[in-house]
Homo-oligomer: A and B are copies of this chain.
Amino acid sequence: MSVTLKEIAKIANVNISTVSRALNDSPLITQETKDKILAIAQEMNYFPNSLARGLVSHKSETLGLILPKIFFLQGPFFSEVLRGIEQVSVENGYNILIASDTGKDRDKNFPFNLTRAKRIDGMLIINEQQRISNLIALKKERFPFVFINRYIKDQDINCVASNNVQGGKIATEHLIEKGHKRIGIITGSFEMAASHERFEGYRNALKEKELVFDKSLMQEGMFEQGIETGTDCAMKLLEHEEPPTAIFAFSDEIAIGAMQAVKNKGLKIPDDIAIIGYDNIEYSAHLTPPLTTISQDPFTIGYESCQMLIDELCDRKPAKNHLQIPVKLVVRDSCGTE
């Protein structure tokens, strides 16, 4: 059905190994025969069978993108990560295979079902939540992988993450500079590493400015249902007997919910209470008032993680295997302007 080396060889009147050499640009061949064979191959619409090739080369030229649940790839953040990944993978001739641990029976050996089946040469892992012991076990099999957007303490584990500690700190510092001393926070679920890290940044900022941490000013929300959760948690903070004068929401969606609660109370932003978000989603610029927030760099996260993985696959040990991508403060009106 589809064209093979054998057929080209027959027409070119050479051995299939010669055809193979021509196609692979081997030095062991005259320009003349190479040109002849290439012309025929082109003519016949030849494409190498990647399965056969992979079987002998022990390479699939495919990268696995591992997601905890497909659900988590929601939103513009992830799609930018993916765009970064794709850019690098295309440049280097790799395909991307999506997989996720469904918890079903056939995945009970996840992720080894993928690695041992030789489907993929390396893994990019997005996993912000679950236990990762099974993934770290890949290390023992010397299977190349990189964690995306999760900072792993173990220096031997490749990872590229947004600098959440820095982000938490910058956001808090901005509020402190605006004169706030009682800063409420609405976190995401503490099952998410991002929550812990941003919280750490918050505490660092407080400590540096010698402000005390008041646990009653902290509410645990959820990233997934940001708006609802933001409203609920902000409500609780506002009913505090000594309410905060500013709220640091761990996502823009949570901030949107919090703004709603503040408005419902008849309070004004930023005069009565300041609000800062996290993520810089498109809508945040169009809220009333426009939301001051922290902007991450998901494209770079995707780009660098894929580059790191490919470097490892090519035995170019990357200089840094523990990358933290910086974030930026985006000042708008919800904490007062400059």
Contacts and interface: CB of A to CB of B under 8 A. Distances in A.
B96 A98 contact: yes
Number of copies: 2
- Most chain B CB within 10 A, of A52, A112, A116, A285, is at A116
Interface stretch (A28-36, A75-83, A127-135, A314-322): A75-83
Interface string A278-305: 0000110110000000000000000000
A186 to B, nearest CB: 16
Contacts of A54: 51
A70 B55 contact: no
A104 B86 CA distance: 13
A62 B120 CA distance: 12
Contacts of A95: 97-99, 119
A13 B257 CA distance: 67
Interface string A57-80: 000101001000011011110110
Contact-residue bracket for chain A: 35 or more
Contact of A70 (B75, B82, B97): B82
A109 interface: yes
A79 B90 contact: no
A254 to B, nearest CB: 12
Interface in A93-152: 93, 95-100, 102, 104, 106-107, 109, 112-113, 116-119
Contacts of A76: 74-75
Nearest to A226: B282
Interface stretch (A18-26, A42-50, A167-175, A210-218): A42-50
Contacts of A55: 49, 51-52, 55
Contacts of A78: 79
Interface string A192-215: 000000000000000000000000
B97 A48 contact: no
A165 interface: no
A333 interface: no
17 contacts: A2-B118, A3-B116, A47-B116, A47-B117, A49-B117, A49-B118, A50-B117, A51-B54, A51-B55, A51-B119, A55-B55, A75-B75, A95-B97, A96-B97, A96-B99, A227-B282, A253-B282
Given A45-B112, A47-B109, A51-B118, 14 more contacts: A2-B118, A47-B116, A48-B117, A49-B55, A50-B119, A51-B51, A51-B119, A55-B55, A86-B98, A95-B97, A96-B97, A96-B98, A227-B283, A260-B286
